[in-house]
Amino acid sequence: GQCSQVCPVGAITARTEVVDVLRHLDTKRKVVVCSTAPAIRVALAEEFSTEADFDFTGKMVAGLRKLGFDYIFDTNFSADLTIMEEGTELIDRLNNGGKFPMFTSCCPGWINMVEKSYPELSDNLSSCKSPQQMIGAVIKSYFAKKLGLSTEDIIHVSIMPCTAKKGEARRPEFVQKGKDGKDYPDIDYVITTRELLTLLKLKKINPAELPDDKFDSPLGIGSSAGNLFGVTGGVMEAAIRTAQVITGVENPIPLGELKAIRGLDGIKAANVPLKTKDGKEVSVRAAVVSGGANIQKFLEKIKNKELEFDFIEMMMCPGGCINGGGQPKSADPEIVAKKMQRMYTMDDQAKLRLCHENPEIIDVYKNFLGEPNSHLAHELLHTHYNDRSKTIQDMGLHEKK
């Protein structure tokens, strides 16, 4: 994955980050919150338990609570939010004409690749921030307001399977103004799954021995479609589920039946019906690609017009985030397939399987954001991309301020 390119310097920053996080948890001078990506719970499940269909989410939350976090939120919530924003963007491009193919934007490894090697594709990227940055922006605005706090009063630790997420969090655009008019980052620290395991070990916490706990509210409910963001094809599957319902497709693909974009193949594709505003059903050509080499090969074919697609999900790590550079190392050659199967099983067993049915998502629009792609949603949840093909200084390695 992306990791091998960023590890040498990343490792040094990471050590200080773990120390800083420990200090915040111990001193509690600020409200310390965390959010956890889908891939973390399945990695911990593999580390601590052996039952193949065992959902470890409640134990993970219990472990984080014991570590001392004041609030524990679910990045699956903001994966659902991403689908609301990105699905609306896709439907808008279909109805009103916009750049196609449209590419997903939640993988910073992929975003770095576009900015450095394919800047001509910038307008094809969805303008949506990643789930990490969306929940960061919402915590430091919506949630801060609920507590009567300002952005600088909260320390937000994002727990990710990914080393590239550290660089993403440090992008200068992902900040909000504090009371003093200065910029404060939406995400204060990113720690990887491996670093979380280090913290748990240091504090002698074994989550498997703790009773299940629940995420805090709001921002603690996530659909199993959002959870699928952790595997290649999951963002696409979640987006199609919601877009089919929202546009009113007559016979939407039944849940779990979009098998063509499941599994570990590097390049997958499916045609899916969506409805335009004039009531016509159109066939959207969807593709899902994971792994840097596959992405390069695939983009060559797109450029040569050998392949044509409308909506494309890109993930830098083969298999998606379950196989991210920050995940625990395993000697088991089947580990990625096992984590993937665990996610599909979690989806099969879940009650909430559609992003737009998440009650906290409904609330955040009703009470705060208005509608998907509203002015405030654009301000907080969308971003822009830069052409970095001519600069070498920005490799995601710059020092923290």
Mind telling me the catalytic residues?
86, 89, 106, 126, 165, 168, 173, 321
Find the helix or strand (DSSP H, E) in which 315 lies: strand 311-315
Dihedral sign of CA atoms 361, 70, 172, 125 in order:
negative
Would you count residue 234 as binding ligand SF4 (CB under 6 A)?
Answer: no
Q: Min. distance of Cβ 79 from ligand SF4 in angstroms?
A: 12
Tell which positions 2-31 bind ligand SF4, by CB under 6 A: 2
Per DSSP, the three-state class of 140 is: helix
- With a CB cutoff of 8 Å and minimum separation 6, the contacts of 288 are 232, 233, 236, 261, 267, 268, 269, 312, 313
Does residue 162 bind ligand SF4 (CB under 6 A)?
A: yes
Q: Which of 185, 324, 372, 396 binds ligand SF4 (CB under 6 A)?
A: 324
User: Residue of minimal CB distance from ligand SF4?
Assistant: 324
Instruction: Output 132 or 244, the one with its CB closest to ligand SF4.
Output: 132
Please say whether the beta carbons of 302 and 101 come within 8 A: yes
Q: How far is the CB of 109 from ligand SF4 (least distance, A)?
A: 3
User: CA-CA distance, 122 to 103, in Å (whole number)?
Assistant: 9
CB-hemisphere CA count at 13 Å for 7?
8
Nearest to 231 by CA among 344, 83, 366: 344
Nearer to ligand SF4, 93 or 165 (CB): 165
Q: Considering the rule CB under 6 A, would residue 233 count as an interface residue with ligand SF4?
A: no
- Which stretch in 58-66, 142-150, 162-170, 368-376 sits in contact with ligand SF4 by CB under 6 A? 162-170
The span from the CA of 165 to the CA of 144, in Å, is 23
1 vs 185 by CB, closer to ligand SF4: 1
Taking the complex as a whole, the smallest distance from the CB of residue 233 to ligand SF4 amounts, in Å, to 12
**109 interacts with ligand SF4 by CB under 6 A:** yes
Fill in the DSSP letter of residue 217: S
Q: Which helix (H) or strand (E) holds 386?
A: none
DSSP states of 225-268: HHHGGGSTTHHHHHHHHHHHHHHT-SSPPPTT--GGG-SS-SEE
CB of 389 to ligand SF4, least distance (A): 20
> Rounded to the nearest whole angstrom, what is the least distance from the CB of residue 165 to ligand SF4 in the complex?
6
Size of the site for ligand SF4 (CB under 6 A): 15
- 372 in contact with ligand SF4 (CB under 6 A): no
- Residue span 302-321 as binding mask against ligand SF4, x where in contact by CB under 6 A, dash where not: -------------xxx--xx
What is the contact surface with ligand SF4 in residues (CB under 6 A)?
A: 1-2, 107-109, 161-162, 164-165, 315-317, 320-321, 324
